[in-house]
Amino acid sequence: MNEIIKFIEKTPKAELHLHIEGTLEPELMFKLAKRNNIKIPFKNINDVKSAYNFSNLESFLNIFYQGSNVLIKEEDFFDLTWAYTLKCKKDNVVHTEIFFDPQTHVNRGIHFEVIINGIYKALVKANKEFGLTSKIIMCFLRHLDEKSAFGILDQALVHKDKIIAVGLDSSELNNPPRKFERVFKKAIQNNFLTVAHAGEEGPPEYIWEALNLLKVKRIDHGVQCLQDKKLVKKLLDDQIPLTVCPLSNIKLCVFKKLQDHNLKKLLNNGLMVMVNSDDPAYFGGYINKNLIECQAALDLSKEDIKKLIINSFKSSFLTEREKKVWIEKI
C-alpha cells in the first residue's frame, strides 16, 4: 500500500454531500423489504447491482425512488443511518452532514416524525459510541412543485432543533433554482442555512441562481462552473464551497471516465472544492474509495489530498473552533 493511500485512510475527514437514502445497500434493501412485506422489482442482490448501470441522473433517480419504498418505520430509517455511520467509522469520517428527502417518504404516507426521528437517533448513538459529529440537511425535491416544498418546510419547522439547513436535489435539468426562490426565502427567515445542487448536469446559470436567489452557503456538485469565467471568479473570490462527488459524476455520465474529471482543475484554480460520495450504495464507493480512485486517475499529490480534506472541514457547518481542532490533526 503506497504512502498516499495510507494517508487517505488514516486522516480524519468530513463528508458534506451524502444522501442518506443513497446509502441503502442491496443487502439492507432486501432485509427491509422482507421485514415490511414490500415487493421490490429485483429477484436477488445481483439483480439489483446489474440495475445500477445509469445513463444519466434521471435513470438513477428511477431506481433510487424504487429502493426508498422499503423504508417504512422509524427503525428502518434508524438501521439505514446506523449502517452509514459504521461506514464513516471505517473510513475515518469524523463529521458528516447528511441530506434526507422527506417528500419521497411523506408522499407515500410515511409521517415526517418517523423519518427524522429514525435518522436522528442513529446519529446520536454514533456520537455516543464513537464520537461521530453530524448535521442534518432537509432537501426539497426540485421535480415537485413549490406548493409541495412549502408544505414540507412547514413540517420541518417543528423539528428545527434537529435540522440545520435546507437543500435542493433531484432532477436538475428544467428545474432551475429560481423555481424555489420563495421557499428558500421562508427557510432563511426561519433561520435555516441553505445549500443547493447546481451545475451537476445543469448550466452555470443554475449556480448563479442558487447563489443570487437562494442565497446558498454551499453549491453541491458545481462541476459545470468552469464554463463561465465570471462565475469561477465569483466562486474563488467568495471561497464558495463546491461539494464534488467524482464517482457519482462518472456513474451518471457527467464525465466519461475519471481521468476526464475536472476536480484537479477546480483545485488548481484555487476553488474551495472537496470530495464526497453522494449516493455511495448506487455509485460504487464511499469517501475513501472516491479519494483513492481520484488520486490514481488524476495523479493527485499528497498535498492535493490534504487540501481537499482541509476544505471539507472549512466548508462544514461546524463552529470555527471545531474546524480548527480537526484541521490541526491533518
Residues forming the active site: 200
Q: How far is CA 293 from CA 169, 253, 284, 287, in A?
A: 25, 16, 11, 10
CA distances from 7 to 3, 10, 263, 303, 306 (A): 6, 5, 19, 11, 9
What grid cell was written down for 303? 498535498
DSSP class of 151: H
Identify the H or E element spanning 64.
helix 57-68
- Tell me the chain's radius of gyration from C-alpha atoms: 19
DSSP 3-state assignment of 326? helix
- DSSP letters for 81-103: HHHHHHHHHHHTEEEEEEEE-HH
CA 34 from centre of chain: 27
Other beta carbons less than 10 A from residue 228's beta carbon: 17
The helix or strand, by DSSP H or E, that contains position 281, with its residue range, turns out to be helix 280-283
DSSP for residue 196: E
Q: How far apart are CA 226 and CA 179, in angstroms?
A: 24
